[in-house]
Amino acid sequence: MKLLGISGTITGSKTLAVVSRVLEEAKKCSPEIETELLDLKQYQMEFCDGRDPSLYNEDTKKVLEMIASADFYLLGTPIFQASITGALKNLIDLLPVHVLRNKVMGFVATGGTYQHYLVVENQLKPIAGYFRAFVAPSYVYAHNDHFNKQNEVVDPDVLVRIHHLAEELVFMQKALK
């Protein structure tokens, strides 16, 4: 059982910090699960243009294979201009619809305003619905104030939400599979 955490940005480190922390908590909840982190900063992905997936560069194919081989997912994105990143949108555009069907998915988002949490409700959840994925009831939104100078999550309430999301992802995956 593999949980893939995706940091859907090519800039910054806060989203990566939250995704990593949820993966750590999931491992604590269920030590037998395998966790893997996909940091889009580490790959030179091509833009989706409708080609057959086998015709993209090696990094793009590797990322798509990582996603296809996972059993459940945690998607993370910073919020820019009240939306998900272009890097994450490109990744979503590259995915064949069947890859996420009937798989469990959770979300984390980071941003500079307290209203940006709405992107999870108004963009990420509908995308998961399109893919026919099962969405964890909780998600984590972390504001810039929730981090210390080293971009580690330090806010106690956010840490509790991280733990709850990890528990829900593991519970749903076990219950549905």
pLDDT tens for 25-71 read: 999 999 999 999 999 999 999 999 999 989 999 999 999 999 999 99
Chain centroid to CA 98: how far?
18
Superfamily of domain 2-176: Flavodoxin domain (3.40.50.360)
* Residue 56, both tokens: 């993209």
Fill in the amino acid letter for 24.
E
Strands (DSSP E) along the chain, which ranges? 2-7, 34-39, 72-78, 104-111, 134-135, 140-143
**What is the Cα–Cα distance from 163 to 143, expressed in whole angstroms?**
17
Q: pLDDT tens across 118-165, in order?
A: 999 999 999 999 999 999 999 999 999 999 999 999 999 999 999 999
Q: Tokens for 52, please give them.
A: 């057959």
Identify the H or E element spanning 68: helix 58-69
> pTM here?
0.96
